[in-house]
């Protein structure tokens, strides 16, 4: 994967002082977008001066170590804003948890998808459908007319900035967007460290904020809505499968910051529940790209399988190095393949026998997802992959627009309260429910597995896994405001099994 070239107006290393007063940003009206990879010409649009735009603030890493994720999230945001300005919305509403469903036939085994290109070619359809059960219906189109172009009679602008994989710059950008640009909603953050760098600013300014990444969980914040999958939706399902199939001895390799540390804590905490044991851990810093010593320690420990929680372009080098060293143990993750598309970036069999309980991958073989993939690549034909965090960003911006439309205003407190109404939105992954009390999302989870050729199959599916953990701890943001992040050490349940 070629690292995206930083834009010419990105802050240079010797321009830190200038960045503090004027960091790189741009206002983008996506209805007329013509950025890298876009195929849309900028139309001549004349708007009345009274049509003050709705501003969606957006910060992601378009350059640096984390740009492999940030660029695709930016493009998904641009697609969502364009659709809103063109008069479209995703189906759904404040109807409680549920979704489109019907009786249907299902095949005896999971389909197998190709690993080449962006097409969703089915290599093996899974056999002749022969058994009857409840399936999610994808017959109905999920992208429907909203009844207006834009939002509340106003165009929607994407106010976008490059965080450059620099947490200090993230804080500067967040302050500028909130205080100077006065964005109506902020959508920002890949790494948990980025989220935690700006969350105190969000809380101080009472800014409506969407964090769309899969993460370690535990954030209970009245102003923050976390729409990515969390550990109870990913770690627990994949651990159950791995222990059943491969054995109880686990070795964890995790990025050395709060995401990696806290997700590894989940693995340690849940292992005794499964009668399993973590027999070794390694926490390499994000800048590490050479893993020979880590690989040697894994080989010496002789685990049954490895939990890899590696982040960024540097750390993904572990996979080809492990394969070259003859380390062919089964692997599990909550991020790899679905975010950094390592199964496409590296030659087989680097990702062979990788397992991830995902809420989205572009390979999901449903009609609603195929339609979404086609819309994305029509706008960005040169993008290498459409991943989990991009999809989360896409439906989250649509969800914000739906809530503001129902509230009849962009007043942030009123929109925040409206978001607590019990929303289901029909996303490309399936039906997503925004849980009012914890501000987290119920997701359709699929267990993705890469074979020796890096072809993907989904061997298990959970159509609706709730973000139940914060509920067990008693969090109810609709009644009691908080701004804390809980960890497994706060849960007395896990202490019962130590």
The tens digit of pLDDT for each residue in 186-244 reads 999 999 999 999 999 999 999 999 999 999 999 999 999 999 999 999 999 999 999 99
* Tokens matching residue 172: 């500067």
Look at residue 11 and tell me if it is in a domain.
Answer: no
Q: Check residue 104 and give its pLDDT.
A: 60
Q: What is the pLDDT of residue 131?
A: 63
Q: What Å distances lie between residue 226 and 175, 266, 300, 332, 419, CA to CA?
A: 20, 18, 39, 23, 12
Q: Are residues 62 and 88 in the same domain?
A: yes
CATH code for the domain in which residue 471 is found? 3.40.50.2300
The 10s digit of each residue's pLDDT in 18-72 is 333 333 334 443 333 333 333 333 233 334 334 799 999 999 999 999 999 999 9
Give 429's DSSP letter.
Answer: T
Q: Looking at the structure, do residues 225 and 324 belong to the same domain, yes or no?
A: no
Residues 257 and 332 in one domain: yes
Q: What is the pLDDT of residue 98?
A: 67
Residue 178 belongs to a domain: yes
Residues 6+ apart with CB under 8 A from 469: 217, 218, 230, 231, 232, 491
453: in domain: no
**Whole-prediction pTM value?**
0.85
The answer to whether residues 475 and 402 belong to one domain is yes
- Whether 242 and 331 map to the same domain: the answer is yes
Burial track 355-387 (b if 16+ CB lie within 10 A, e otherwise): bbbbbbbbbbbbebbbebbebbbebbeebbbbb
| Residue 114 pLDDT | 76
User: Domain total for the chain?
Assistant: 2
Sequence-distant (6+) residues with CB within 8 A of 491 are 269, 469, 472, 473
Q: Are residues 240 and 216 in the same domain?
A: no
Let me know: does 305 contact 322? Beta carbons within 8 Å: no
d(CA 361, CA 271): 26
Domain presence at residue 455: no
Residue 354 shares a structural domain with residue 477:
no
Residues in CB range of 187: below 8 A, 6 or more apart: 56, 57, 58, 59, 77, 209, 210, 212, 393, 396, 397, 400
Same domain, 334 and 412: no
Collapse the DSSP code of 498 into the 3-class scheme (helix H, G, I; strand E, B; otherwise coil) and give the result: coil
Concatenating the DSSP letter of every residue in 104-152 gives EEE-SS--EE--SSS---EEE--S---EEEEE----S-SEEE-SSSSBT
Is residue 24 one of the residues assigned to a domain? yes
Are residues 378 and 321 located together in one domain of the fold?
no
Indicate whether 345 and 372 sit together in one domain: no
Q: Is 298 left (phi over 0), alpha (psi -120 to 50) or beta?
A: alpha
Assigned domain for 112 exists: yes
Q: Is the Cβ–Cβ distance between 108 and 338 less than 8 Å? A: no
What was the pLDDT predicted at 402? 98
In the chain the first and final C-alpha atoms are separated, in Å, by: 42
User: What average pLDDT values come out for the chain (498 residues) when binned by 10 residues?
Assistant: 36 35 38 33 36 96 94 98 98 79 65 74 75 55 95 98 94 97 97 96 98 97 98 97 98 96 95 96 96 98 97 94 96 95 95 98 93 97 97 98 98 98 96 97 97 96 95 96 95 82
Query: Considering the domain boundaries, does residue 67 fall inside one?
Result: yes
Angle ∠(411,414,415) on CA atoms, nearest 5: 80
- Residues 86, 152: one domain? yes
Task: Note whether residue 284 is domain-resident.
Answer: yes
In angstroms, the CA 200 to CA 494 distance is 29
**Is there a single domain that holds both residue 325 and residue 377?**
no
Domain of residue 273, residue span:
102-138+232-362+490-495
């Amino acid at each position: 994967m070629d690292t995206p070239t930083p834009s010419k107006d990105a802050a240079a290393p010797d321009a830190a002082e200038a960045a503090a007063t004027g960091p790189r940003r741009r206002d983008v009206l996506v209805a007329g977008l013509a950025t890298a990879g876009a195929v849309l010409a900028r139309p001549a649009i004349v708007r009345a001066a009274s049509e003050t735009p709705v501003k969606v603030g957006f910060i992601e890493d378009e350059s640096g170590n984390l740009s492999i994720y940030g660029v695709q999230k930016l493009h998904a945001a641009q697609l969502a804003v364009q659709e809103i300005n063109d008069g479209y919305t995703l189906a759904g509403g404040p109807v409680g948890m549920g979704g489109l469903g019907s009786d249907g036939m299902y095949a005896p085994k999971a389909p197998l998808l190709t690993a080449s290109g962006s097409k969703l070619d089915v290599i093996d359809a899974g056999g002749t459908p022969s058994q009857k059960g409840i399936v999610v219906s994808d017959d109905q189109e999920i992208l429907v007319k909203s009844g207006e172009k834009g939002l509340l009679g106003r165009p929607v602008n994407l106010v976008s900035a490059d965080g450059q994989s620099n947490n200090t710059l993230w804080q500067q950008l967040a302050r500028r967007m909130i205080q100077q640009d006065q964005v109506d909603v902020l959508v920002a953050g890949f790494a948990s460290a980025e989220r935690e760098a700006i969350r105190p600013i969000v809380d101080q300014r009472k800014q409506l904020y969407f964090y769309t990444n899969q993460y370690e969980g535990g954030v209970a914040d009245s102003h923050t809505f976390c729409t990515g999958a969390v550990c109870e939706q990913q770690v627990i399902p994949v651990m159950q499968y791995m222990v059943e199939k491969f054995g109880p001895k686990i070795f964890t390799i995790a990025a050395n910051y709060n995401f990696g540390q806290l997700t590894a804590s989940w693995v340690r905490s849940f292992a005794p529940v499964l009668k399993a044991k973590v027999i070794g851990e390694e926490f390499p810093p994000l800048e590490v790209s050479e893993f020979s010593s880590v690989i040697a320690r894994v080989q010496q420990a002789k685990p049954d399988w490895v939990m890899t929680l590696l982040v960024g372009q540097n750390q993904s080098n572990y996979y080809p190095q492990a394969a070259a060293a003859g380390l062919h143990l089964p692997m599990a993750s909550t991020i790899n393949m679905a975010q950094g598309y390592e199964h496409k970036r590296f030659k087989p069999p680097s990702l062979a026998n990788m397992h991830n309980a995902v809420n989205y991958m572009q390979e999901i073989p449903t009609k609603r997802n195929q339609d979404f993939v086609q819309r994305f690549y029509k706008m960005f034909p040169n993008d290498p992959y459409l991943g989990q965090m991009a999809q989360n960003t896409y439906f989250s911006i649509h969800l914000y627009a739906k809530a503001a439309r129902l509230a009849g205003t962009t007043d942030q407190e009123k929109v925040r309260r409206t978001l607590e109404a019990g929303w289901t939105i029909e996303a490309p992954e399936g039906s997503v429910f925004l849980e009012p009390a914890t501000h987290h999302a119920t997701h359709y989870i699929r267990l993705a597995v890469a074979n020796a050729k890096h072809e993907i199959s989904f061997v298990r599916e959970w159509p609706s896994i709730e973000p139940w953990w914060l509920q067990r701890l008693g969090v109810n943001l609709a009644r009691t405001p908080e701004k804390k992040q809980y960890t497994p050490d706060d849960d007395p349940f896990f202490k019962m099994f130590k």
